[in-house]
Structure formats: structure tokens, C-alpha cells
Structure 1
Amino acid sequence: MRRITSLFFFAALIAAAFFLLFCKEEGFHQRHWAFPLESQGSITVDPNPASCGSCHLQQFGSWKSTLHSRAIGPGFLWQLPRIGKHGSENCMNCHSPNPETKTLLFSRLGWEEASGSAWKSGSEENGVQCASCHLRKGKVYGPFPKDGNKDRIFQNSNIPHQGFIPQKEFEESEFCKNCHQSPETAKQVNGKFLMDTYGQWRRSEFARSNVQCQNCHMPDRKHEWKGISDPEMVKQGVQTFLQVLPKEEGAEILAELKNSGVGHSFPSYSVPKVYLEVWTESIKGERRKISEKTLGWMLDLELQKEIYDTRLSPGESALLRVNLSKEEFSKLKRVEFIVTVDPKEYYKRMFQDNWNYRDTFREDTKPWVLPHLKKALEEANAAKYELVRKEWKI
């Protein structure tokens, strides 16, 4: 009898383990970001961001100036006829997640027919919009109130969209993962995912200290999502130093940039590059670059081959060290350490290469492709900015 009881107990343990491994309820993140997203169907709430902005004025005002709102921009649009409908659908999962906006955009390309939708024409140009994160099957989701009160009534038929469903997951880094992290099955270059921002954060001290993506990119819940394209945001994440140390035999110049506060690699993707340069100016006014280094992950245009990877993990530094003779140092008037950020370096190369071969494009695609490609190239070329200029003078 004891043997039968033991076998039954062991079988029950196996069954319980099997249930926990394979039959457990799907988590909120997996349900909320199951690509492609399900259609909203018939909805009573207006999904237009401007409609949301009538009550959520601050969030709407911030969102309008973000890269999220411009995720369907020239750099995205010109590529669609070239990658086709299927490839475009995969891209739309993140650039404009709601299937209704995908249909509206594809109808402009003649790939689908849009009719009878509550989503007005033009919604497809809003990129990652309010509904992309907050609306599922006609219901509105969001984080708990800042005061931490979890006992409030959040659903009420007398208020717009009947209230909302609070979810703590809105303040977890995993909420951003599906669009900022390649899946495990995705292509790798030299053993690295093309998108690994979440993974870089997951392996960092920031994750271990419970500093989430939202703490830096949505401080005080601001819908700004600032990053590498914003100089002030970047300045908060790095430290720069310049020292000129006179010595008996001349001088040593030390210029350093440290990833002191970025919760992932700096820069994270293969698109941006950061240029470090040390320049000298002589008493006669002659300028000369004496040292330089590029930070970034340089890949070829086809994203097949790694050329170099000099990104800085959290806490790492890049150091430029130059030794000058006594004679060289005696002629110096000024030393400068200049840091320049090119947020769209890869895009500049890729857009320019395609523009150079624009005559080879299919004639029926040129009216769509060429205007968007030209605008994308102009925007990419204008994105570069000077981050820091430190100076030492005699």
C-alpha cells in the first residue's frame, strides 16, 4: 500500500511539474505583445492620439515630438515596395503595431483594401501611438497611479473609455522588450543580435539594481523616450575628461569618455556612431588632429559582416592617450577633446548607397520610393551633432 501511495505521489509531482512548465497561464507581456496584434474589432473609443490628448494633454504633447510618433517616417516608408508585403508586415509589428494602421498603409500601396474601420485615414502616419501600447480589444490598459493606491476603482462607465485596467507590467523593462530585443531565433552577426538592448540591460548592474528602462527613458512617466538622438539625454549618461600632464620630457594628454549612466551598451545598436577626437592648436594657430577613436558597432551595408565593435558596456571607458615631446609641447596653445554623435550613421551609408543606384529601381515603385528616400537621406545627414567640447589652454 505504501508503494502504491508513493507511486501516486510521485506521479502527482510529475503532473504538477508538467503543468507549471507547459500549461501555466501566459504572462501579461506575452499576451499584450503577441505579434501580430489582434484587430480591435468594433470599438467605442476614438483611437486617434489627438482624441486621447483632449484629456491626457501632457502625454500627447510629449509624444508628438518623439521618434515613436515618427516611426512611420521617410526612412521606413521608402523601403516598403522593395521588401514587399510580407517583409513590411514584420516591420510594422513594431513601427505601427495595430493591424488597423497596417491595413490603412497597405491600402495606399495597393496591397489591401481598407473599409469600414473606425481608424481614420492618416492614423497610419502616427507610428507608435497611444493605442499601440494602451488599447487591446477595445479596453484601455495602463500603469497603477503614481500614489501606489491599488484599491481605487479603475473602471467606471461614467468616465471616458470606461476607465482603464491597471497593470504593474507597464513599469517593467520587459514591456519594451519585444521591439527593442531580437528574438532568440533571430539572425546574429558574429554571435551578436542586431537588437540586444534588453539583453545588454539584463546583464548589467542596472537590472540587478532594479533600474528599469522607464526610469531613464520615461522619467516621472513622461512620454518622451529620449535616447541617442537627444544631446541632453546622452550627456546624462556619459562622463568626459581631459587632462594635459606636463612632464620633464614633454607632456601626456589624456582624453576619456565613460559610460557612467547608460543602462546598456553605448551606443546600443549598429546604427549610431560616436566619434572621439583630440585636436591641438599651435601658437601660430595651426590645428591638428592627434588622436581619434570611434565608438560603435560597424557592420557592412548588408548587415552580414562585423567590421569592428567598440561599444562601451555600462561602467566602461574609452581612453585616448598621446605623448608629446618637450619641443611639441612648447609650441602648443590649446588642446581640445571633441565628442560628436552621429545617431544615424548606418542609415546614412545605406540610404546614400540606394540613392546612388536609384536608376535601377523598378519604374512603378519610383513615384513612392524616391521622394521618401530623398527625404530620409536629408534627415539622416542632418542628425549629427557635437556632444562635448572640452578645452585646455596655456
Structure 2
Amino acid sequence: MHIGLRLLLSAAIITASFFLTFCKEEEFHERHWVFPLESQGSLTVDPNPASCGSCHLQQFGSWKSTLHSRAIGPGFLWQLPRIGKHGSENCMNCHSPNPETKNLLLFRLGWGEVSDSIWKPGSEEGGVQCASCHLRKGNVYGPFPKDGNKDRIFQNVNIPHQGFIPQKEFEKSEFCKTCHQSPETAKQINGKFLMDTYGQWRRSEFARSNVQCQNCHMPHRKHEWKGISDPEMVKRGVQTFLQVVPKEEGAEIISELKNTGVGHLFPSYSVPKVYLEILAEFVTGERRKISEKTLGWMLDLELQKEIFDTRLSPGESAFLSANLSKEEFSKLKRVEFIVTVDPKEYYKRMFQDNWNYRDTFREDTKLWVLPNLKKALAEANSAKYELVRLEWKK
């Protein structure tokens, strides 16, 4: 065969192999997360997370404390009668993905019937659970073993689900994309998607360095998915500094918060806000806030208008500064730089606004809506926490 023809044929084979591999990966993602998910059909194993936990004890124990396990909580439930059956089904795609749990929830709202199955009432309260990610049409899927042994036999008739089907996509950011990224057709506010965490990551150095979502949010494959609501997780993603610089005319106070380890904007969504403030305390007993700033994406309650966007890209810093006169500096006793995180700031505003107008709700929905709304508001109001407090003493 002519050498040129052989090279051309080799190139064609390589290209075809790449194309088939790429399409296979895309096919798995599309098949695994196309909404609405297909019914599991008749199952021989109990899909309840507690049943999975009988063997996967560590994963089950971690999952129970996560926001994933509370995706069907009062903040979600109170809204369903107001957005109707169709809107509720769309929301449940991510909050309660399996059609069986979705149907149980719709039944509780009076919007459908539930046939006798292994999915018992109460299953829907688990939110995003084991079956949501790992179970499709009776087959169990998961990542390859950590030892990297891809030759291991994954089918075993001696365990409840006869083994599992390994997929490398379980350790790729794309696996999280469907529920943490607005589709391309979604509405935008000032050119930005409401959910753009995957896009923010994709445009960052973290993606270019092959640092996946799972590396930070599921380290060592822990089923914790910690984020903005977890102080220790947030502390690992930022650095803070405080400096007081004496000058001939007084002093300059400088503080900084830098996004050093968050693989997307900090904070990512429009819901959380991060408050920075510098407090000065004087020998006279006076305590005064001398500088402040809010980090976040502030939108109106209707999610139609951007008020401001001060989120930090990876590697970006926010600075606060203040100048004191020579007389003020002579009386200065202490300076504090305080960082406070409010993970549910938008929800607090939105829940409170709806609670204020609760008398306008339809009478036939109040029995469901009001208790859940009241509890959701209480949870949102209690979510705020102090992240960092740096102190300088004269």
C-alpha cells in the first residue's frame, strides 16, 4: 500500500476512534440525565437509601447530613401549590429526579395516583438520593474503583444488585452540570444565567488544570457535597488579610478577601451574600464601622433585574480600606475585619415578602403552604454565620 494512503487510513481510524469515544461519553450523559427520567420498572432491590446504607454505610451516613438529602424541604414544598402541577414537575427533575418519588409527591398534592410498588410513601422525602444518581432501569452505575483496576469483574450475583456498571463520567464535572447549570435556552439577567456554576468552572483555570467539581465537593469520594453553607469548606476556598499602615497624617486600614481556591465565582449563585466590614474601636469606648462591602449577585425578588454583581472570579480579590486622621489614630485601640456569610439571603427576602402577603393565598392551599413557608423562613433566617474575624491591636 502506498505510504501516503496508509497514513491517510491511519488518520481516519484515529479520527473515527476519537469520534466514537466522544459520542459514547456524550451518549452516557444524555441517557443518564435526560429529563424526565424513565421509570425504573420492576425492581428486585429496595431503592430506599437506608437499604443502600446497609452495605454503603459511610456514603449513607454522609448523605444524610447533606443539602441533597433535604432537597425536598419546606423551602421547596411551600411553593408547589402556587406554581402548579407542570411547574412542580419541572422543579422535581432536580429536587426529586426519580419518577417514582416524583409521583409520590404529586399524589400528596392531589395531582395524581400512585400504583403499588417497592417505592413506599416517604421515599420522596429523601430528595436527591442514591437512586437519583446510581440507579437507571434496575441497573446500578458508579465510578471505577479507586485502585484504578479496570479489569475487575463488576458483576456479582452474591450481592443485592448483582454488581454495578462502572462509568468514568461519575468523576467528571459534566455529571453535575444538568442540575447546576441553566440550559442554553434559559432566560438571562444582564447576559448571565441564573445557574452558571458549571460555566464559571469551565472558563476557569481549574477546568484547564483538570480540577473537577468532585475534587472539592466530593473529596475522596465522600458523599458530602459541602458548599457555601459549610464554614470550613468556605475557609479553604478564600484567604483574608488585615493591615494597619501608620502614616504621617494618620493611618490607612486595608483588608482583603481573595478567592484562592473556589473553582467558580464566589459566591456562585444569586442566593448567598458575603458581607465584609471593618470595625474600629477607640479608647473612648466608641466602636464604629468604617468600611463595608457586599459580595454577591443581587437581584430583585422577581429575578428580572440585576441590582449589582460583586462576585469574585477565581484569583480575584475584594479590598476594603479606610483612612484615620492623626487624632483618630492616636485614640485607636483595636481594628477588626469581619467576614459574614448569609447562604440564603435571597430566600430570606423572598420568603419574608410572601409571608407578609400570606392572607392573599388561595384558601385551599393555605393548609399546605403556610406551615412550610413559616418553617422555611425560620431556616433561612438562622443560616447566617461568621466566617472570619481578624484583629489588629495597637
TM-score, with length taken from structure 1: 0.94
User: What is the Cα deviation at residue 180 of structure 1?
Assistant: 0.3
Partners of 1:126 and 1:30 lie apart in 2 by: 24
Q: Which residue in the other structure is 1:4 paired with?
A: none
Q: Which residue in the other structure is 2:46 paired with?
A: 46
Q: What residue identity is the alignment partner of 2:163?
A: G
Q: Which residue in the other structure is 2:192 paired with?
A: 192
Partners of 1:244 and 1:30 lie apart in 2 by: 54
Partners of 2:113 and 2:392 lie apart in 1 by: 63
Pairing 1:375-390 to 2, within 5 Å after superposition = 375-390=375-390
After TM superposition, where is structure 1 displaced by more than 3 Å over at least 4 residues in a row? 23-26
Q: Which residue in the other structure is 1:73 paired with?
A: 73
Aligned length in residues: 378
Q: What residue identity is the alignment partner of 1:388?
A: V
Q: Secondary structure at the match of 2:161?
A: helix
Q: What residue identity is the alignment partner of 1:206?
A: F
Pairing 1:1-394 to 2, within 5 Å after superposition = 26-394=26-394
Partners of 2:45 and 2:332 lie apart in 1 by: 67
Partners of 1:66 and 1:389 lie apart in 2 by: 26
For each residue in 1:80-111, what CA deviation from the matched residue of structure 2 results, as whole angstroms up to 9, or x when unmatched? Answer: 00000000011000001000000000000100
Residue identity over aligned pairs, in percent, reads: 87
User: What is the Cα deviation at residue 263 of structure 1?
Assistant: 0.3
Partners of 2:231 and 2:218 lie apart in 1 by: 16
Partners of 1:233 and 1:24 lie apart in 2 by: 35
User: Aligned pair in 2 of structure 1 residues 197, 24: CA closer, same or farther (>3 Å)?
Assistant: closer
Q: Which residue in the other structure is 1:5 paired with?
A: none
User: What is the Cα deviation at residue 154 of structure 1?
Assistant: 0.2
Partners of 1:160 and 1:346 lie apart in 2 by: 44
For each residue in 1:114-167, what CA deviation from the matched residue of structure 2 results, as whole angstroms up to 9, or x when unmatched? Answer: 121210100000000000000000000000001000000001112220000000
Partners of 2:115 and 2:149 lie apart in 1 by: 42
Partners of 2:117 and 2:159 lie apart in 1 by: 24
Partners of 1:122 and 1:284 lie apart in 2 by: 60
Partners of 2:197 and 2:370 lie apart in 1 by: 32
Q: Secondary structure at the match of 1:295?
A: strand
Name the Cα RMSD after superposition. Answer: 1.5
Select between 73-82 and 283-292 the one with higher mean Cα deviation.
283-292
Q: What residue identity is the alignment partner of 1:353?
A: D
User: What is the Cα deviation at residue 24 of structure 1?
Assistant: 5.3
Partners of 2:262 and 2:63 lie apart in 1 by: 22
